[in-house]
Structure 1
Amino acid sequence: MAQNRDGGNPFPDSGELDNPFQDPAVIQHRPSQQYATLDVYNPFENREPPPAYEPPAPAPAPLPPPSAPTVQSSRKLSPTEPKNYGSYSTQASAAAATAELIKKQEELNRKAEELDRRERELQHVGLSGTARQNNWPPLPSVCPVQPCFFQDISMEIPQEFQKTVSTMYYLWLCSTLALVLNFLACLARFCVDTSSGSGFGLSMLWLLLFTPCSFLCWYRPMYKAFRSDSSFNFFVFFFIFFVQDVFFVLQAIGIPGWGFSGWVFAIVAVGTNPAVAVLMLLVALLFTGIAVLGIVMLKRIHSLYRRTGASFQKAQQEFAAGVFSNPAVRTAAANAAAGAAENAFRAP
């Protein structure tokens, strides 16, 4: 068999053919130091301990995009801070509108409380069955003359008009005081100069005439106008108080012989008697203040009158209703109609 192999026998022994490890493809992959396999691998041979654990370095934060820094973007809003959804002017107008609504609501609540208080008072008076007793002028009980009017500004006048009515009442008191001082000044002038008797007499007349007439003719209509929102009383007040303001101005001027210790009459009296002149100058200053305050209050009440919705047509309706509802007027009209009818039947 060896001879056949050496001599180039193409048929090798069966043993060689049956051994798969003799295949050249397997022989070239046999273990070696350059090509180690699992058979020659020793895990415990010359092994060094692994290095200590080191955490990885944090990644650098991304840079923000380049933009112009603003105050609003750099500041974080707190959870309770409202966001800015509009411009400053819009927010200011909204805040002003909210404040105006709150103010109107408070005013309506105040008016409702005032109406409730007045209604309770009226109900109390009605349930008690006693009519209101007159309390003005405040006279003592021993006086034979009793009060003629009932006046209570805090009860009868709405709260928004109480200050105006009180100011007009003090204006009437000041005008009365000025007339009293004017009478005393004219009396002192008459004592030092008997030729001024006409002025002294007129000062007495103005005191006796203006004191009650001013209260009845312009203060009471103004009081009733604000108490019941009466257009007719408003018109009466405007007409009469305008005339009163004219007299206030004439009193402040002080034309000699008219019975007013104004500026002109006081300056004339300086050369005669300085003491009397000083008293007359004080009266003239008081008259001037009353005249200025009267003009201011007339304008203020006129503005309030325009806000109440009163009109001349409403005043005419109130006047007609008041005239026809008056028992004396109705009786006089019935008697006049009956007399006219009787005369018509008697005529031939």
Structure 2
Amino acid sequence: MSKYTSFPDPMEDPNPFQDPAVTQHSSNAGYATLDLYNPFDNNAAPPPPYEATSPSAPSVPAQTPPSSKTTTPTEPRNYGSYNSQTAVNATTAELLKKQEELEQKAKELERRERELESHALGAGASRQNNWPPLPSFCPVGPCFYQDISVDISQRFQRTVTIMYYFWMFSTCTLLFNLVSSLANFAVDVHGGIGLGLAILWALLFTPCSFVCWYRPVYKAFRTDSSFNFFAFFFVFFAQVAVDVIMTIGIPGWGFSGWIVSLATLKTSVPVGAIMMINAICFTAQTAMGVVMLKKVHSLYRQTDASFQKAQAEFATGVMSNQAVRQAAANAATGAFTAPR
């Protein structure tokens, strides 16, 4: 092992040209070198071909499998149809959700801007009434101002809009009840009392329902008024009770409910069918009234309204009325100046 691990004497100066690899390469006569080839010699033969001393198999560069494809930076990569489609759907849903949120914020900002513009008229100025939308040639003008998108917060706009449509549906049902009572009177002369009461109910319930329960719920959500909330609950509960009576259809009460409709069906099938449609409308009105009563009550519990605030609002409203204050002052003056 010593001959493989022995080192030359450091004083020796080895000759690099005496290396066996170099001497073997130079001793090959068939190898073409610059010393053996003169390009300017016309009589010289062409240089001999190159012959390697130890021929080896040529290295073949690794070829890319035909199945793999090199993509360029600008070429879209295919990560799989299912995963890519799922990612695209998720991104689209997220963008749509963000767009919807931005649209809601834009509507809210627009509503607040319009509200500020309306309040910028001044403390003594009032907004012009726009309901009911009567034509200009009508001698009677609108009685109320109503704009749900301006007055009502976006959180409660849907509920107030449904209540408005519910009032319209109740009005249409009463008008259809008038038509069905008229048809019943055409086949039964004893139905005159029901026809008269149907006319009375249509003329009475239509404006009273708007003033007594729709306007209170509108003002309750507009100003977060506890008094208007309690007024709505009291009147609307009575409205639901009347709807139940309408659905039953007691004979002689002017309501085309189930009892009157089934009784008329034995006399006249067409008239009975019309009255049954009216009974179905009364049933839907009652069910929708119960649902909306629970809906408004759940929203009321989420606000700061309370019975104590309702009492305070009532006292403040009564004392701020000019007529009430004048009557109270007159009564106090009369009691003070009365002879004893």
Q: TM class, shorter-chain normalised?
A: 0.5 to 0.7
Q: What CA distance in whole angstroms lies between the structure 2 residues aligned with 1:272 and 1:173?
A: 32
CA contact (8 A) 1:136 1:149 kept: yes
Alignment of 1:44-193 (within 5 A): 114=108, 116-127=109-120, 131-193=126-188
User: How big is the shift at 1:131?
Assistant: 3.5
1:326 equivalent in alignment to 2:326: no
Q: Determine the structure 2 residue equivalent to 1:235.
A: 230
User: How big is the shift at 1:255?
Assistant: 1.1
Q: Determine the structure 1 residue equivalent to 2:279.
A: 284
Alignment of 1:241-260 (within 5 A): 241-260=236-255
Superimposed CA distance per residue, residues 313-338 of structure 1 (whole angstroms, 9 cap, x where no aligned partner): 01111111111111111111111111
Q: What CA distance in whole angstroms lies between the structure 1 residues aligned with 2:213 and 2:161?
A: 14
Q: Determine the structure 2 residue equivalent to 1:44.
A: none
Q: 1:155 to 1:258 in 2, by over 3 A?
A: same
User: How big is the shift at 1:188?
Assistant: 0.9
Alignment of 1:5-44 (within 5 A): none
Q: What CA distance in whole angstroms lies between the structure 2 residues aligned with 1:159 and 1:244?
A: 27
CA contact (8 A) 1:136 1:151 kept: yes
CA contact (8 A) 1:111 1:159 kept: no
Q: 1:117 to 1:327 in 2, by over 3 A?
A: farther
Q: What CA distance in whole angstroms lies between the structure 1 residues aligned with 2:104 and 2:198?
A: 46
Q: Determine the structure 2 residue equivalent to 1:200.
A: 195
Q: What CA distance in whole angstroms lies between the structure 2 residues aligned with 1:128 and 1:327?
A: 24
- 2:118 aligned partner, one-letter code: V
Which of 208, 213, 217 lines up with 1:218 in the alignment?
213
List gaps (5 residues or longer) in structure 1.
1-48, 51-101
Q: How many residues align?
A: 250
CA contact (8 A) 2:115 2:151 kept: no
User: How big is the shift at 1:112?
Assistant: 9.9
- 1:125 aligned partner, one-letter code: S
User: Which consecutive aligned stretches of 4+ in structure 1 deviate over 2 angstroms post-superposition?
Assistant: 109-114, 116-131
Q: What CA distance in whole angstroms lies between the structure 1 residues aligned with 2:218 and 2:144?
A: 12
Secondary structure of 1:202's match?
helix
List gaps (5 residues or longer) in structure 2.
1-19, 22-96
Higher Rg of the two aligned structures? 1
Q: What CA distance in whole angstroms lies between the structure 2 residues aligned with 1:231 and 1:117?
A: 27
User: How big is the shift at 1:119?
Assistant: 4.3
Q: Percent identity?
A: 57
Q: What CA distance in whole angstroms lies between the structure 1 residues aligned with 2:162 and 2:142?
A: 22
User: So what's the TM-score if we normalise by structure 1?
Assistant: 0.66
User: How big is the shift at 1:195?
Assistant: 1.0
Q: Determine the structure 2 residue equivalent to 1:272.
A: 267
CA contact (8 A) 2:178 2:198 kept: yes
CA contact (8 A) 2:112 2:150 kept: no
Secondary structure of 2:156's match?
helix
Q: What CA distance in whole angstroms lies between the structure 2 residues aligned with 1:117 and 1:229?
A: 21
User: How big is the shift at 1:111?
Assistant: 7.3
User: So what's the TM-score if we normalise by structure 2?
Assistant: 0.68
Q: What CA distance in whole angstroms lies between the structure 2 residues aligned with 1:140 and 1:113?
A: 29
Q: Determine the structure 1 residue equivalent to 2:65.
A: none
Across the aligned residues of Structure 1 and Structure 2, the Cα RMSD in angstroms comes to 2.8
Q: What CA distance in whole angstroms lies between the structure 1 residues aligned with 2:221 and 2:228?
A: 9
